[in-house]
Structure 1
């Protein structure tokens, strides 16, 4: 009789090359997340201090090149310019996941993709239902959809958990798919007053970018001016300029030639990722998170339908979407949960996914042109993310003894050969 195929293990031991790549990315994101957290706190304190007027003056100060259509405020430069760097890194991460990571095969992609899609659809649906029930606008349906991986990792660092690498990798892949969804939403739903000539120029620039990659042309002096030109043309074309960043990230080659130590995508990520995580995103947070936290502003989060809908979407929607999506995908594929873990661990991770800081703030600005309404929605994003962080901290800290044991087991290297012993004699029930 033919033997039954072994059941796939959910959140089992990652392949060693995949774990190395994930670990490097997570280290940068964790440090960047702590800087992001500090920037958000500074923004809130500054905006609500006696020097709040100075904060607004700096945020609204305009500079640039008006002749090129680039006379923007400091706040818009950080949102449209610096976040393009963030989305460049997101594009590279997505390309890496599609080529060599968890998304390269349907079998490995099913779990994080289904969890991410449910984690976007359920918050959007709960937002729409809550806002409509209160007679509010449904324009902000996309605000609670994205997970902020840097902020989530900063929370893990602050509460000092030792999550197994498989759970951290799942969170990272979930955020990558979330970012792709956010990019598509921004490109499709927040595009106005198209300038077809400028868009044609941006597309031509991307073609040149692709040709340079195909011809193995190296040198930043080719790519940096071209990238800036593509970004400016995309901005003037009416498409949100961050789309230019992800497009270039997806074009960069992720495979390494025989004479290369790193692929172009890996080199760019190594150089740009620290700037994105440590400078670009925190500066955006500094000028986006400075909202009023007065009693009236916080009251409106619970009384106005739009901010209340954001709060419900982030806390309840993300938790339900990610958890049910993960549970359903595991049952559908007849996979089994890693016996060292429990579904309570997945629930904690699902709650943590409710931290939707950076992209949620960006989409909030795009969804609500009215400054006062946008401020209330931003306050809801901050409050929802803080609530999700606190709830996740409680859930994950309860299991930290288990995580610490698994972490130490994964890191143990008695023969000091640089490869953990578990990869040289892994137990069958730990492999995925």
Structure 2
């Protein structure tokens, strides 16, 4: 009886994931740069003579009192603009579940388990760091998130030669990570729940989905319904960004007759630049403005909250992701794809420790004014450390894959009277045939 061949971790990509990967790599790099610009601008404003203007601008209130929409500019960025970011997350989730890597259990198990491990271990490290009397357990969720914009931007700079499957692993992992973060926000950071407004929000979301399925996709019709869903969700006590996710999940992810791509994939292509280049950088500008002085550094060094956040993102994220992936490879038939190593997975785990956007959001929800400054500074510090460590390791792996490619491309010197056999190609340039997916030839028998 012939046994089934072992499946490979991070090997094949669905056509939908390949298209999305190219799209993400094209837009998120610019978005990551703009996100960095927004962060640097916030730090400049918060640490110069512009600090007063920055604080007044952040606290300036605008909007109608109805439905509690008289919000500060900073809250509009956090609750309003980030709804666009979460709408794109909802589109990604729908596409991945229907047509992407999360469609089949065999391909979904790795990023799901890795994302769970990448959340559980950071949360555990945070809790262990805050068990003392000076600690605060309410921030356990802060180091559990991954900022895909920053991570992809770093990867685009240092990972030109890395295998595409490894890049797609980071993308899919981040999508699952976002889903878990959404669940955490909805479950643990809802207050004064109003079922009346929640019902109104759900009704708008259902109407949004039904209209799309009927083919009525005019923005003049859908945008007012989407805004109403967001406003009602905000009034319900559940964080308003959840409405963005729910609306994204209502968009069809299967192409209809005569369509080249599904509506979810099309809208993801349209809205991703708005999210990456507008919504998230503006949110970062208002969220990352922390004053850096001797007192702030002292708090960073002494605060258990800061220790938990930094340990969770820099150590917990890669440890949880690698451990979870190793468990999948050990207790199932899955194996790492040929040519990949656990160093590659570790490098991706380190990049996943860039928690920035969602970590800042959860930190603000968890602490409000209390410990807000130290949480911001610890998230910034951890994200910089994770980016530097991940870039260093993946940069070294990128150079390895480049040398490997160049060695494979070297002409094979052979006698003029015969051609190379497949199993000789790898050996002739010093490459293990198994590493490039070539099976060893059977021993030749005499005639």
Q: CA–CA distance in 1 between the matches of 2:43 and 2:217?
A: 43
Change in 2 beyond 3 A, CA 1:407/1:218: farther
- 235-244 or 14-23: which moved more? 14-23
User: Equivalent residue of 2:215, what SS?
Assistant: coil
User: Equivalent residue of 1:399, what SS?
Assistant: helix
In the other structure, the counterpart of 2:419 is none
Instruction: Quote the offset at 1:295 in angstroms.
Output: 2.2
- 330-339 or 383-392: which moved more? 330-339
Instruction: Quote the offset at 1:12 in angstroms.
Output: 2.2
Query: Does residue 1:135 correspond to 2:142, yes or no?
Result: no
Q: Is the 8 A contact 1:9 1:429 kept in 2?
A: no
Instruction: Quote the offset at 1:161 in angstroms.
Output: 4.3
In the other structure, the counterpart of 1:374 is 372
Q: CA–CA distance in 2 between the matches of 1:230 and 1:214?
A: 18
Q: CA–CA distance in 2 between the matches of 1:14 and 1:409?
A: 26
In the other structure, the counterpart of 1:363 is 362
Q: Deviations over 1:276-319 (max 9, x none)?
A: 00000000001000111212212211211112111111111111
Of residues 382, 388, 391, the one that matches 1:390 is 388
Q: CA–CA distance in 2 between the matches of 1:400 and 1:134?
A: 45
Q: Deviations over 1:371-408 (max 9, x none)?
A: 5x111111000000001111112111112223336789
Q: Is the 8 A contact 1:119 1:319 kept in 2?
A: yes
In the other structure, the counterpart of 2:18 is 19
Q: CA–CA distance in 1 between the matches of 2:386 and 2:309?
A: 12
Which runs of 5 or more residues in structure 1 are unaligned? 411-426
Change in 2 beyond 3 A, CA 1:115/1:51: same
Q: TM-score, normalising length from structure 2? A: 0.88
Instruction: Quote the offset at 1:33 in angstroms.
Output: 1.1
Change in 2 beyond 3 A, CA 1:403/1:20: farther
Query: Does residue 1:401 correspond to 2:402, yes or no?
Result: no
Which runs of 5 or more residues in structure 2 are unaligned? 409-434, 439-447
In the other structure, the counterpart of 1:225 is 224
Q: CA–CA distance in 1 between the matches of 2:94 and 2:401?
A: 30
In the other structure, the counterpart of 1:285 is 284
Change in 2 beyond 3 A, CA 1:405/1:292: same
Q: Is the 8 A contact 1:88 1:249 kept in 2?
A: yes
In the other structure, the counterpart of 1:424 is none
- The number of aligned residues is 412
Instruction: Quote the offset at 1:160 in angstroms.
Output: 5.7
Q: Once superposed, what is the RMSD of the aligned Cα atoms?
A: 2.0
User: Equivalent residue of 1:253, what SS?
Assistant: coil
In the other structure, the counterpart of 1:32 is 31
Larger Rg: 2
RCO comparison, higher one (Cα < 8 Å, 6+): 1
Q: TM-score, normalising length from structure 1? A: 0.91
- 125-134 or 9-18: which moved more? 9-18
